[in-house]
Amino acid sequence: MQRTARASSTPTPEPLPAGDVAALLDGVPRQRGPVAAPAPKPPRTALPLRPWRVLPWRLLPTPTGTPVTFTYTVILALTSLFASWAGPGLRYALYQDSSTDVAHLLRTPVFVLLASALWIAGGLLSPYALAFVLVLTALERRIGGARAILVFLAGHVLATLATEVPVGLAVLAGHLPDTSLHRLDYGISFGVAASIGALSGLLAPWLRWPLLALVGYSLVTDLIAFQDPMTNWGHLISLAIGTGLWPVVRRWRRERVQALAGAVPVAP
């Protein structure tokens, strides 16, 4: 028997387009697998701080921008005006009671170390008065008011002790007369010199080294003149104290910049 093939009555289905196949597959249940974690979002970084620009009104202390320097400046202005109006006898008595000579340091060291920093030798027209305003303002803007005063007091106290202690020892050894124990010593110059030295470490090199060279030359010239060698040595010592604080003030500056950066609104 010859076998013959019979055509099927069922028509052959036509292939579906690719889009329809994908649509059908979407309806087929899939085996659940590990859910991939969402890609982490890029961290939100704070907006960069604006570079410190030299603006005229930023060179002077203000009640809100530099409150510590502003308050100290007002006090120095008042004491200087009072000294200019007071009689010679009263003025000398005030200076003498505030003097950081050996005799007063032995009796009331804390009082005279603080009181001596309330007067400006030479009054408001002294170069140290202008230097105080400019330098302390710039230093407070960079490291904060409390730390700027710490730098100032470090130079004021340490340079005073470095110059007065040898005087006391020389008197004990008989190399100086007893009158050296009562020398008049007051003013803000030691603290200003230390502040200049510390501030120079926060400046750009093109400004740092000319500033140190100019100030150092002026102090050495005064020492060579030999008009007041103890005070002149104190200025050089306090300038060295300020430059020795560079690692500290630079760390304080970084901490202040980071604190200010944390207060700046972050980008969305």
Output the pLDDT for position 40: 57
CB 137 within 8 A of CB 59: yes
pLDDT exceeds 80 at position 39: no
Please give the model's pTM, rounded to 2 decimal places.
0.77
Encoding tokens for residue 68? 């510590």
Sequence-separated (6 or more) residues with CB below 8 Å from residue 246: 198, 201
DSSP-derived 3-state class of residue 266: strand
The pLDDT tens digits for 112-151 are 999 999 999 988 989 999 999 999 999 999 999 999 999 9
Confidence band of 21 (pLDDT split at 50, 70, 90) = very low
Question: What dihedral do alpha carbons 162, 235, 154, 91 form, nearest 10°?
Answer: 90
> In the chain, what is the straight-line distance between the N-terminal and C-terminal CA atoms, in Å?
87
Confidence band of 65 (pLDDT split at 50, 70, 90) = very high
Instruction: Taking residues 179-184, report their average pLDDT.
Output: 91
Encoding tokens for residue 111? 């009082």
CB 234 within 8 A of CB 159: yes
pLDDT exceeds 90 at position 165: yes
For the chain, the C-alpha Rg in angstroms (whole number) is 37
Q: At what angle do helices 229-244 and 145-172 cross, to 10 degrees?
A: 140
The percentage of the chain sitting over the pLDDT mark of 90, rounded to a whole number, equals 69
Encoding tokens for residue 70? 């502003």
Which residues share a beta bridge with 46?
A: 266
Instruction: Taking residues 174-187, report their average pLDDT.
Output: 92
16-20, 72-76, 80-84, 183-187: which range is least confident on average? Answer: 16-20
Which among 133, 135, 137, 117 has a CA at the least distance from the CA of 125? 133
- Cα separation, 113 vs 107, in Å, equals 12
- DSSP codes, 210-254: HHHHHHHHHHHHHHHHTSSHHHHHHHHHHHHHHHHTHHHHHHHHH
- Cα separation, 76 vs 69, in Å, equals 10
- Cα separation, 205 vs 32, in Å, equals 64
pLDDT exceeds 50 at position 267: no
